[in-house]
Amino acid sequence: MKEIIEMLPDSISHQIKKLHPASIARIEEIRIRVMKRVEVVIMGKPVFLSSITTYEDSVNLLNELSHYSIYTLEEELKKGYITVCGGHRVGLSGRVITEGGRVKAIRDVTSFNIRIAKEKLGVAEGYIPYLYDGKWLNTLIIGPPQTGKTTLLRDFARIISSGFHQIESNKVGIVDERSEIAGCVNGVPQHQLGERVDVLDACPKAEGMMMMIRSMSPDVLIVDEIGTRQDAEAVMEAVHAGVQLFVTVHGYCARDLMNRPTLRLLFEAQVFDRYLELSRKNGPGTVQHILNQHGEQLNAERSVTK
């Protein structure tokens, strides 16, 4: 949180510092909107600060994010988010400039969504017996937004690359289209991922999976939030290439995803050996069910945050 607080306008940072230290540690998002109160999301609950954000505040924040060179953020502005030191991601919205029917940039940024990266080492360890059987099993982590999918995936990357007790370390390739898993800044991961990890940062998933397999020969490929038909086809290609997969997807349960046309191919081919279904029932990171490839439940409910 320190690097986030330091880049915020003084009027906002002073108010956040007044919050209870335990609350600051549990902040998930800081949402800043011009001419509105700042919204701080703590454990899924909104807390509104007293002062109103001015247009000058938004300009100052954008200058801090770009190190006073907005042109260096041209590619990021096309995508609508920036990754900053610490692996935190700042989503942006405002007036969109298009060219040829495609987004060219966002100008007059009036909303910022600062998502605080939560690095929780060890949260995935309790699930290793379900996901390793002589080799890492192809695993799909399922959950709605803000249920801890990326946090869990990040810790699996660390464990797989480092080894765990009698399990040997593996080469891990991460295709990080939105710079969230590794949280790269200038290509350097900001999170602890182990020594045997290679990252393709800000690379489209479908293309990146094939690039990673051809160039870095990973044992395990890690990808966040698949969803398109191209993503599904790339996953199939990775499986045929003999690479194990740890992948996340937005959804409520495996049964829900089976009816999604873009992903149906993966279920029909029974690509995944394990499904982890997450929710916020007991806070972010609640693993409600672990299923095998036939949809049979393997576990009792528990939370990765405890």
Domain CATH number, residue 108: 3.30.450.90
The answer to whether residues 96 and 155 belong to one domain is no
Of 82, 115, 148, the last residue of a domain is: 115
Rg (CA), the chain: 20
Q: Which tokens in the block code for residue 103?
A: 């987004």
Of 76, 96, 115, the last residue of a domain is: 115
Angle between helices 229-240 and 205-216 (to 10 degrees): 20
The answer to whether residues 297 and 254 belong to one domain is yes
The C-alpha atoms of residue 243 and residue 192 are separated, in whole angstroms, by 23
Task: Indicate whether this model's pTM tops 0.75.
Answer: yes
Residue 63 belongs to a domain: yes
Q: In terms of Cα–Cα distance, which of 301, 300, 254 is closest to 282?
A: 301
The answer to whether residues 109 and 226 belong to one domain is no
pLDDT score of 304: 46
The answer to whether residues 205 and 278 belong to one domain is yes
**Domain containing 48: what range?**
2-115
The answer to whether residues 241 and 281 belong to one domain is yes
The answer to whether residues 199 and 102 belong to one domain is no
pLDDT score of 87: 75
CB 184 within 8 A of CB 201: yes
Residue 13 belongs to a domain: yes
Q: What is the pLDDT along the chain (306 residues), one digit of tens a residue?
A: 778 888 899 989 999 999 999 999 889 999 999 999 999 999 889 999 998 999 999 988 988 887 666 666 677 777 778 888 777 889 888 888 887 877 777 778 899 999 988 778 898 999 999 999 999 999 999 999 888 899 999 999 999 999 999 999 999 999 998 888 988 877 888 888 989 999 999 889 999 999 999 999 999 999 999 999 999 999 999 999 999 999 999 999 998 898 899 998 899 999 999 999 998 777 667 898 999 998 889 864 444 443
The answer to whether residues 130 and 103 belong to one domain is no
Burial class of 141 by CB neighbour count within 10 A (0 to 12, 13 to 18, 19+): buried
Residue 120 belongs to a domain: no
Concatenating the DSSP letter of every residue in 144-165 gives: STTSSHHHHHHHHHHHHHH-BT
pLDDT score of 289: 92
Of 115, 139, 159, the last residue of a domain is: 115
The answer to whether residues 296 and 250 belong to one domain is yes
A 10 A CB-CB count for 196 gives 18
Residue 226 belongs to a domain: yes
